[in-house]
Amino acid sequence: MDDRHRKQPGQARSIYDDIGVRTIINGRGATTAVGGTLMLPEVTAAMAEASRAYVVLDELNLKVGERIAEITGADAGYVTSGSAAGMALAAAACIAGSRPERIRQLPDSTGMANEIVIHRSHRLNYDQMYRVGGAHLVEIGFPQGTEQWELEHSLTDRTAAVAWHDSPSTGPGALPFETVVRVAHDRNIPVIVDAASTLPPVGHLRRWIAAGADLVIYSGGKGIRGPQDSGMVAGRADLIAAIRANGNPRAAVGRGMKVSKEAMAGLWVALDLFMKHDHAAEFAEHRRQAQVIVQALANRADLRSEIEDDWERWPAPIVRLFPAGDRWRADFVRAALMSGTPPIHVNLDRNGLMINTHCLGPGDEDIIARRITAILAN
Amino acid sequence: MYQRMGVTPVINAAGTLTRLGGTRMAPEVLAAMREAAAAFVHIDELQERAGEIIARLTGAEAGYVVSGAAAGLALGTAACITGMDVAAMDQLPDTTGLRDEIVVQRGHRNAYDHAIRMTGARFVEVGYLGYPGAGGTMPWQIDTAITERTAAVACPILATPGTLPLPAVVGIARARGVPVIVDAAAALPPRANLRRFIAEGADLVVFSGGKAIGGPQASGILAGRKDLIASVALQHQDMDVRAQTWNRRNLLGSGEVYGIPHQGFGRAMKVGREEIAGLIVALERFAAGSDADDIAANHLRLDAVEEHLGKVQHVSVERKQATSQSLPQLWVQLDEQSLDFTAYDVVNRLLQGNPAIALSESRAEFGTVIVNPSTLNDDEAVIVGRRLREVLTQH
């Protein structure tokens, strides 16, 4: 990653030193729990600038929304306080629409079409957000496959929307997206796509709207490198208007999911930078980092490694390290990495270590390889 | 026989699929079935002896022969709901007022679990599929889903990412006094799995009899806790009996049941004495065999197939084993664009040819046809190789 924003060696103190929190090497990717991604200097400058004047928040969100619409190919767009807020607001919009008495009734959706149909394979721990927006989830299919009639039979006059989820960890067995859109649209039911962590590549910004999605949700603080607490929804004008009606600054379900003027300005600049960035070059650099880690640990009898670099699936290459034999355990090594200096955070996957290279800075790969080698030596 | 009925026999290179006839029984198994057909026995006595053999080979307290794995799941679930309560047995599949919830991880749901629902049970699903990063199952999710309405926790042997494995599930369920029922229908080989799930603490385990074990197609095994198997027997066997002469009237005397149940929930899943005899012979033969020998024999058959597939344009072949202990398969990858036909076309052309040949289409959407050698004999393997080459080189 472009490291102009990073704390440089020898740099005196950072705010985190003042607060008394240790900074870490992020081998988990653009994950909220370790800080998302790092904003570029242009983004933080825009936020600082935005903090110096008053504006009408609705107007600001409308303007940034126009930009979101432009780059996604949608009718309209809206800035949210992250993808989870986008999910809750999308549900609220599909259930209550823009009718004030319904907006005020949420999250109690009694008497409204409030069912969101979702593939069992797409259930994930964030889908509680749809329920926050008043939805009841109706599940179809199995991890082994789903039949079209299951979708057709699940759609009734109680249905508010069909939810689709796309992420690197989406379970298997869903119907093709084109089928979902065709069947839902035949009945005038909107399709919501949660594509929170699927950027880059840039092509994923237009993909879902082009394929017929009515609302698409993205994180602003991951691949886009906007403020960590920002996100966006792109989609049909009437549904975006309904999101606006259910969202901040109005006193509705979305009021607690406040987006600041600074975050909107930051996201606006971050989107520009994201569109211009050479993502292929960055992907290649992360692939090099992945190879450094794997090569440093090659020729070990107690370890098997693999690199997954499918850009359609992961924004950056993934390194997996599996124990060969039982000389070491991934959870112990992970804990040792976290408790060392600097702390290194990585994921666990299938009894192995999983290193996401997306948020590695220059040289992080060497430190990771060295530390793992040292831990395995004990 | 099939020709006389006007049914086309199929060379089966798709595996032990029910819709193609399961497996081929060994001569010893057929002989046992023929022998069993020639005389009358008490079915409950026959089941009891068969159960002892199943118990010995699985390490379980008790065993029972069912009419396939699905019947095993249904009967096992019924036993978890009713226990030895005769009136509850009579009430099924109406579960009003009974413990009828089956806790299951969402990643373990599958089309075969209809067999569990057919008892009247309802699933309580926990956990997510967005693993890693956005899901999997947390132990507390299973723990808090267990209530006084819970009949059992279902834990099929499926490696869906993020699901908790059987030992973890058992740890939670056992602490709450709830049985765990395991669908291991297709978890053989390896043979070690015959004992593994019982050893890991499952209360009931279901295996298919008509697949790897090589028993009759419409047979299956239920192994597990003695009290649950006793309940299964009462809900499955012919109950048109009288207290004075019933073979199992000791159950009345001991107070284990307060009356003789009527014909039960499982009556429609009848098992003949021929199936019981055939299954037991097949099971003993299977248990005495060796995984390594089976793997080697299947590799030889794949050699015979692969011999014909050298230098076929736009086609590459690869041997695959799910784990080092599973039987090998031959994955034939087609470059569909260059070939101008699809994997589904290959499957259909072989099915419509003479002789009809069935390949596995489980990866056909990715342009792969799979030769599964476990249901082929050596002669058939040669035919499959030759026909596959003909179809792949026909443009």
pLDDT digits (tens, 9 = 90+) for A165-197: 998 888 889 999 999 999 999 999 999 999 999
Residue B285 is predicted with a pLDDT of: 97
**B128 and A347 in contact by Cβ < 8 A?**
no
**A125 and B130 in contact by Cβ < 8 A?**
yes
User: Phi, psi (5° rounding) for residue B5?
Assistant: -85, -5
For residues B300 and B229, state if they share a domain.
no
- 8-state DSSP, A40: P
| A170 in B contact zone (CB under 8 Å) | yes
| B362 in A contact zone (CB under 8 Å) | no
Opening angle at CA B307, ends B304 and B308, nearest 5:
105
**Does residue B19 belong to any structural domain of this protein?**
no
Residues of A in contact with B130 (CB under 8 A): 122-126, 165, 167, 169-171
- Report the share of chain A in percent with pLDDT over 70: 97
| B135 in A contact zone (CB under 8 Å) | yes
- Both tokens assigned to A353: 């270590």
- Both tokens assigned to A158: 């109680």
Q: In what order do the strands lie in the sheet with A159-165?
A: A76-80, A231-235, A215-219, A191-194, A159-165, A115-119, A136-140
- Report the share of chain A in percent with pLDDT over 90: 87
Alpha-carbon span A206 to A86, nearest angstrom: 17
- Both tokens assigned to A188: 């005038």
Overall domain count for chain B: 2
Residue A28 has pLDDT above 70, yes or no: yes
Nearest CB partner across the interface for B132, out of A126, A165, A349: A349
Q: What are the distances in angstroms from CA A32 to CA A202, A223, A233, A345?
A: 21, 12, 18, 13
| B363 in A contact zone (CB under 8 Å) | no
For residues B244 and B303, state if they share a domain.
no
Contact by Cβ (8 Å): A78, A65: yes
User: Phi, psi (5° rounding) for residue B138?
Assistant: -95, 140
What is the residue-averaged pLDDT of chain A?
A: 94
Q: What are the distances in angstroms from CA A184 to CA A187, A193, A214?
A: 5, 13, 11
By the 10 Å C-beta count (0-12 exposed, 13-18 middle, 19+ buried), B78 is classed as: buried
- Both tokens assigned to B314: 């736009």
Element (H, E) at A59: helix A57-72
Instruction: Choose, out of A28, A119, A123, A350, the residue to mutate when testing the contact with B (most B CBs < 10 Å).
Output: A123
Of all residues in chain A, the one with the smallest CA distance to B129 is A171
List all residues 6 or more positions away from A301 whose beta carbon is below 8 Å from its beta carbon.
A324, A325
| A124 in B contact zone (CB under 8 Å) | yes
Residue A14 is predicted with a pLDDT of: 82
**A171 and B134 in contact by Cβ < 8 A?**
no
**Does residue B27 belong to any structural domain of this protein?**
no
Question: In which residue ranges of chain B is pLDDT below 70?
Answer: 395
For residues B300 and B256, state if they share a domain.
no
Residue A10 has pLDDT above 60, yes or no: no
| A34 in B contact zone (CB under 8 Å) | no
For residues B252 and B138, state if they share a domain.
yes
**Does residue B26 belong to any structural domain of this protein?**
no
**Does residue B5 belong to any structural domain of this protein?**
no
Residue A9 is predicted with a pLDDT of: 55
Residue A8 has pLDDT above 70, yes or no: no
CATH number of the domain encompassing residue B241: 3.40.640.10
Nearest CB partner across the interface for A168, out of B106, B110, B133: B133
For residues B245 and B319, state if they share a domain.
no
Other beta carbons within 10 Å of B229:
25
**Does residue B3 belong to any structural domain of this protein?**
no
Mean pLDDT of A149-177: 94
| B174 in A contact zone (CB under 8 Å) | no
Residues of A in contact with B106 (CB under 8 A): 120, 123
- Both tokens assigned to A66: 């126009």
Last residue in a domain, options B253, B268, B288: B288
List all residues 6 or more positions away from A8 whose beta carbon is below 8 Å from its beta carbon.
none
**Does residue B33 belong to any structural domain of this protein?**
no
Nearest CB partner across the interface for A142, out of B109, B130, B135: B109
**A143 and B133 in contact by Cβ < 8 A?**
no
Nearest CB partner across the interface for A125, out of B109, B134, B161: B134
**B133 and A123 in contact by Cβ < 8 A?**
no
Q: Given pLDDT bands bounded at 50, 70 and 90, which one contains residue A227?
A: very high
CATH number of the domain encompassing residue B299: 3.90.1150.180
Residues of B in contact with A120 (CB under 8 A): 106, 109, 129
Contact by Cβ (8 Å): A187, A161: no
Residue A322: closest CA among A352, A354, A294: A352
Query: What is the value of pTM for the model shown?
Result: 0.88
Nearest CB partner across the interface for A123, out of B106, B110, B158: B106
**A143 and B107 in contact by Cβ < 8 A?**
yes
pLDDT digits (tens, 9 = 90+) for A257-312: 999 999 999 999 999 999 999 999 999 999 999 999 999 999 899 999 999 999 88
Nearest CB partner across the interface for A350, out of B109, B129, B161: B161
For residues B284 and B375, state if they share a domain.
no
**A169 and B133 in contact by Cβ < 8 A?**
yes
Residue B135 is predicted with a pLDDT of: 83
For residues B281 and B315, state if they share a domain.
no
- Both tokens assigned to A14: 């950072």
Alpha-carbon span A198 to B307, nearest angstrom: 44
Instruction: Choose, out of A127, A147, A164, A169, the residue to mutate when testing the contact with B (most B CBs < 10 Å).
Output: A169
**Does residue B330 belong to any structural domain of this protein?**
yes
For residues B254 and B142, state if they share a domain.
yes
- Bridge partners of residue B105, in order along the sequence: B126
For chain A, list the domains and their CATH numbers: 15-30+278-377 (3.90.1150.180), 41-276 (3.40.640.10)
Alpha-carbon span B220 to B122, nearest angstrom: 24
Q: Given pLDDT bands bounded at 50, 70 and 90, which one contains residue A378?
A: confident
For residues B166 and B256, state if they share a domain.
yes
| Positions of E strands within A50-135 | 76-80, 115-119
Of all residues in chain B, the one with the smallest CA distance to A147 is B111
pLDDT digits (tens, 9 = 90+) for A312-334: 889 999 999 999 988 999 999 99
For residues B44 and B169, state if they share a domain.
yes
Last residue in a domain, options B268, B288, B308: B288
By the 10 Å C-beta count (0-12 exposed, 13-18 middle, 19+ buried), B374 is classed as: buried
Alpha-carbon span B54 to B221, nearest angstrom: 8
**Does residue B326 belong to any structural domain of this protein?**
yes
User: Phi, psi (5° rounding) for residue A134?
Assistant: 105, 5
Last residue in a domain, options B288, B305, B330: B288
Provide the domain limits for residue B224.
40-288
For residues B302 and B284, state if they share a domain.
no
Sign of CA dihedral B170, B173, B177, B181: negative
Residue B223 is predicted with a pLDDT of: 98
For residues B148 and B216, state if they share a domain.
yes
